[in-house]
């Protein structure tokens, strides 16, 4: 597994763990009080929603930090006319390139290969 993918998984795992620890701490303060439990659940849902809403536009380095695609790989794929859809923000040769998160996820989904065990 690549280093970038491990970092992304650790980030996701730590975000979820943080929410769960907060939930456990808040829940320990409540004793059979349904209204307090509802309030705590609402707080946790809000925390999870905020953690789950990443920015829409990503630079090459942000893509590389969050997905199993390196900066050089993204550059090579663009050069070959392959890879995820991207937006070039200027016409110059060295113009800034950004990606929509959805385009990255669509590209990765298209790269998925199902094995016989998964199909059957």
pLDDT tens digits for 21-53?
A: 777 777 666 666 777 777 777 777 777 666 655
pLDDT of residue 17: 66
Same domain, 62 and 95: yes
- Prediction pTM value: 0.53
Same domain, 44 and 71: no
Residue of 88, 86, 89 lying closest to 106 (CA atoms): 86
pLDDT tens digits for 59-75?
A: 999 999 999 999 999 99
Tokens of 119: 């199909």
At residue 90 the predicted structure's pLDDT band, cuts being 50, 70 and 90, is confident
Phi, psi of 96 (to 5 degrees): -70, 135
Average of per-residue pLDDT across 67-90: 95
Alpha-carbon gap, residue 95 to 112, rounded angstroms: 30
Supply the range of the domain harboring residue 14: 3-52
Average of per-residue pLDDT across 8-25: 63
Same domain, 48 and 93: no
How many domains, the chain? 2
């Amino acid at each position: 597994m690549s280093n970038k993918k491990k970092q992304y998984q650790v980030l996701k795992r730590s975000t979820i763990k943080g929410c769960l620890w907060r939930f456990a701490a808040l829940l320990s303060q409540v004793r059979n009080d349904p209204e307090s439990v509802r309030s705590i659940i609402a707080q946790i849902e809000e925390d999870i929603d905020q953690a789950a809403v990443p920015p829409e536009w990503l630079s090459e380095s942000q893509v590389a930090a969050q997905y199993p695609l390196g900066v050089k790989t993204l550059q090579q794929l663009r050069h070959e006319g392959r890879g995820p859809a991207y937006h070039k923000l200027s016409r110059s040769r060295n113009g800034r390139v950004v990606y929509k998160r959805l385009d990255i996820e669509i590209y990765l989904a298209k790269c998925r290969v199902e094995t016989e065990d998964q199909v059957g």
